[in-house]
Amino acid sequence: MAGESGQFEQETFDEGRLSERIMLAAAAYGVGSSIGWFRRSGEAAAKEILGIPASRLVRTAISFGYPDEEARRSRPKHAQARKPLADIVHEERYS
């Protein structure tokens, strides 16, 4: 089961993938998100607040909210946000 002792290192990859997908799904609905990890005393505090057993791992937190549209509009716009594909992709053959 997730969060069991001895499995923490192995679960990090899956935890990151799950977090990414949750954040992408939120973005598809116009919801912003931010990810963070509980560290040191934050782990114990989160377990107490959320009623999580001491034997379980608490590490990742994702916050969600609707972006402030006025703040988004006031950000400077980049003329070209991404490099052209031809600048970063090269077709070659192994020989």
Residue found by looking up tokens 């999580």 in the block: 52
Q: How many CB atoms lie within 10 A of CB 52?
A: 15
- Tell me: the pLDDT tens digits for 5-50? 666 667 777 888 999 999 999 999 999 999 999 888 899 999 999 9
Q: What is the pLDDT of residue 75?
A: 79
* 58 exposure class (CB count in 10 Å sphere: 0-12, 13-18, 19+): buried
- Domain extent listing, the chain: 8-69
Pairwise CA distance, residues 51 & 76, whole Å? 43
Q: Does the reported pTM lie above 0.75?
A: no
Pairwise CA distance, residues 74 & 7, whole Å? 45
Q: Across all residues in the chain, what is the average pLDDT?
A: 85
**Kind and range of the H or E run holding 24:** helix 8-28
pLDDT bin (cut points 50, 70, 90) of residue 69 is confident
**pLDDT for 1 beyond 60:** no
91-95 average pLDDT score: 79
